[in-house]
Amino acid sequence: MTALSRRQQNRIERERRVLDAALKVFAEAGYSGTTMDAVAIESGLSKPTLYQYFESKEALFSAMLHGERDQMLEFFQHPSGKGMVADLHGFAWDYADAVLRPDLLSLARLIIGEVQRFPEIGRAYQQSGPDRLLSGIMDYLSGRRAAGELDFDDAELAAQDLWGLILSAPRTQALYMPDAPPSRAEIARYVNNGLRVFLKAYSTRPKDDLATLEALISAQPLKRALQQVEP
Amino acid sequence: MTALSRRQQNRIERERRVLDAALKVFAEAGYSGTTMDAVAIESGLSKPTLYQYFESKEALFSAMLHGERDQMLEFFQHPSGKGMVADLHGFAWDYADAVLRPDLLSLARLIIGEVQRFPEIGRAYQQSGPDRLLSGIMDYLSGRRAAGELDFDDAELAAQDLWGLILSAPRTQALYMPDAPPSRAEIARYVNNGLRVFLKAYSTRPKDDLATLEALISAQPLKRALQQVEP
DNA sequence: CAATTTCTTAACTGATGAGTTAAGGTTTGC
DNA sequence: GCAAACCTTAACTCATCAGTTAAGAAATTG
């Protein structure tokens, strides 16, 4: 089974520790504000050992960002099977929980703050996270159009609209005010309103779907609203 | 008239030069990446003189950000008088032109990147820029509701929706990819689609207003599309 | 257990950057 | 025109930080 020697396992585990430490420190202090000593201490290794794993600060920064790509989860992959409105409602909350997670917000701030000095990281992040997510939304919406439940010309625009309606406001707030993130109640306000507007503009049966949505909203106020962010 | 001595005028003009230089350098390099020597050179002053105007790097940073607040223009103040659809169309483009300006994007990236270390700057920026703009939109939309042209319960949510539909996608793209900003054609695609969805969801006469919008779009493809960003 | 590899400690180098100081030059006020 | 205020130049201090080096301690392998 384990074709890896103890030495190789150690190496892999320590590299993981270094990357985790790097994410934490870089996200807190930015690129220029981060010291390699701080990364070494955070990872529990010594500085010379750190340099055996990554040959420079820039190499570590780049490796850390590339490692983070894979962490972006696959949303919009598991429709609930309880109908389009329930699917959209579930997706909206899954997405909100992810996109407003403090660690992912810190990563986003880091990337935005450094993108002018490292232009490739912005493109890489966009392609690995938001773009993949957007195409997941597009696929789902196209399926609902084929089933006659939605009506639109351009799936990409429809997907962008859904995202913008539901999460642009709370995410902007969270990005600019890390010490006053939107409460669950505020998020619910944006999410529910966003879904209403989306259905009103895109549903082929807006009246029915809006009624379904209102039923869903009043049925689940506690299950979602009291759920904490930390799993 | 001029109650100011030559010395006082000089002082004011040089302080202005320092703040402009600081904005440029901080926006390019971030807080930690900026050197006071670079600010001195950019402003054309010597370093000791620079320290006579601002006692530390942090004081300069803070003064620069506070100075920038006043630059946020007052949009949504001058309706065209050609009807709601034309107003919204005009506002959308004015706003797009402002919010996608490279210098304002750089400033936004700087603030987002440093907000964890300087939490007050995020709040200050939000209040001086986006919040004021949002209340301008709210006032306008409330006026149209009073005139029977729009229908909504919550003016704040309606204003957030308008903003999110029109500009969240191109602004996100511009934030993350400074070297590939959205073209005028892409912006037009988002703006026009956003206005369509907004009118479909909020207008009391969606059919008429959508027809007006389509007429407007096909009437002005060149005037707007070829306009450059630099005034 | 013995040889090898890999780690840690601790001190070091060289560069850079915040903030200062002193000597002379220029501008301004009167 | 002359004195005071202000500026520049240039060099300096002190702290920090990326990256290195050498010695010995600990783990790994056979």
DSSP codes, B191-203: HHHHHHHHHHHHB
The last residue of a domain, from among B16, B34, B55: B55
For position A168, what pLDDT does the model report? 95
The last residue of a domain, from among A55, A77, A94: A55
For position B69, what pLDDT does the model report? 61
| Residue from B24, B117, B154, B161 whose CB has the most chain A CBs within 10 Å, to mutate | B161
- Rounded mean pLDDT for each run of 10 residues along chain B, 231 residues in total: 64 88 92 94 91 93 79 60 91 89 91 91 85 89 96 97 96 94 94 97 96 90 50 39
CA proximity to A195, closest of A207, A210, A176: A210
Residues B110 and B36 in one domain: no
For position A127, what pLDDT does the model report? 83
CA proximity to B18, closest of B49, B29, B108, B107: B49
> pTM for the whole thing?
0.88
For position A4, what pLDDT does the model report? 59
Cβ partners under 8 Å of residue B74, min gap 6: B132, B136
- Are B224 and B188 within 8 A, CB to CB? yes
Overall number of domains in chain B: 2
CA proximity to A88, closest of A72, A99, A101, A76: A76
Instruction: Give the span between the Cα atoms of B164 and B158, in whole angstroms.
Output: 10
- CB-CB neighbors (< 8 A) of B173 in chain A: 126
Residues B92 and B202 in one domain: yes
Length of chain A: 231
Using alpha carbons, list the distances in angstroms from residue A12 to A5, A64, B35, B217: 11, 14, 38, 57
A21 touches strand C (CB under 7 A): no
* Geometric angle at alpha carbon A18, from A12 and A19, rounded to 5°: 90
Tokens 């995020």 identify what position? B122
A34 touches strand D (CB under 7 A): yes
Cβ partners under 8 Å of residue A142, min gap 6: A155
A190/B125 Cβ within 8 A: no
- Burial class of residue B3, CB neighbours in 10 A (0-12, 13-18, 19+): exposed
For position B85, what pLDDT does the model report? 95
B106/A176 Cβ within 8 A: no
Distance from CA of A44 to the nearest CA of B (A): 24
Residues B49 and B94 in one domain: no
Give the up-direction half-sphere exposure of residue B75: CA atoms within 13 A in the CB hemisphere: 25
**pLDDT, mean over chain A:** 87
Residues B12 and B92 in one domain: no
For position A184, what pLDDT does the model report? 93
For position B13, what pLDDT does the model report? 85
Using alpha carbons, list the distances in angstroms from residue A133 to A100, A216, B65: 15, 24, 35
Using alpha carbons, list the distances in angstroms from residue A85 to A88, A93, A161, A211, B25: 5, 13, 16, 10, 49
- CB-CB neighbors (< 8 A) of A154 in chain B: 193
Distance from CA of A17 to the nearest CA of B (A): 23
Identify which has the larger pLDDT, A3 or B133. Answer: B133
For position B231, what pLDDT does the model report? 39
A198: CATH: 1.10.357.10
Instruction: Tell me the residue range of the domain where B26 lies.
Output: 1-55
For position B175, what pLDDT does the model report? 95
Residues A31 and A77 in one domain: no
Residues A12 and A97 in one domain: no
For position B77, what pLDDT does the model report? 61
Which of A113, A126, A177 is the closest to B109 by Cβ?
A: A113
A1: CATH: 1.10.10.60
For position B138, what pLDDT does the model report? 94
Residues B224 and B190 in one domain: yes
Instruction: Give the span between the Cα atoms of B49 and B60, in whole angstroms.
Output: 13
The CA–C1' separation of A48 and D20, in angstroms, is: 8
Q: Which chain A residue has the Cα nearest residue B196?
A: A201
Residue B155, number of CB atoms within 10 A of its CB: 18
B160/A112 Cβ within 8 A: no
Residues B21 and B85 in one domain: no
Q: Where do the H-state alpha helices sit in A81-154?
A: 84-99, 102-114, 119-128, 130-146
A180/B123 Cβ within 8 A: yes
Eight-state DSSP code of residue A165: H
- CB-CB neighbors (< 8 A) of A168 in chain B: 160, 163-164, 168
For position A10, what pLDDT does the model report? 78
B80 touches strand C (CB under 7 A): no
The last residue of a domain, from among A9, A31, A55: A55
A5 touches strand D (CB under 7 A): yes
Predicted confidence (pLDDT) per residue in A79-91, tens digit: 777 899 999 999 8
SS3 of A202, please? helix
A169/B165 Cβ within 8 A: no
Residues B119 and B5 in one domain: no
Structure tokens of B91? 């506002």
Residues A107 and A3 in one domain: no
Residues B15 and B87 in one domain: no
The mean per-residue pLDDT over the stretch A47-69 comes to 88
User: What angle separates helix B57-69 from helix B119-128, to the nearest 10 degrees?
Assistant: 20
Report the phi/psi class of residue B113: left, alpha or beta, with left for phi > 0 and alpha for psi in -120 to 50: alpha
Which nucleotides in chain D have some atom under 7 angstroms from a protein Cβ?
Answer: 5-11, 16-22, 27-30
Nucleotide nearest to A36 (CA to C1'): D18
Phi/psi of residue A119, nearest 5 degrees:
-60, -25
A49 touches strand D (CB under 7 A): no
Amino acid at A38: A
**Residue B203: beta bridge partners?**
B150
B161/A114 Cβ within 8 A: no
Structure tokens of A196? 């209403």
Predicted confidence (pLDDT) per residue in A168-206, tens digit: 999 999 999 999 999 999 999 999 999 999 999 999 999
Residues A96 and A22 in one domain: no
Nucleotide nearest to B11 (CA to C1'): D6
Predicted confidence (pLDDT) per residue in A112-154, tens digit: 999 998 888 888 888 888 888 898 899 999 999 999 999 999 9
pLDDT of residue A74 exceeding 70, the answer is: no
Identify which has the larger pLDDT, B167 or A103. Answer: B167
Identify which has the larger pLDDT, B14 or A74. Answer: B14
Amino acid at A194: G
- Are B124 and B104 within 8 A, CB to CB? no
B154/A180 Cβ within 8 A: no
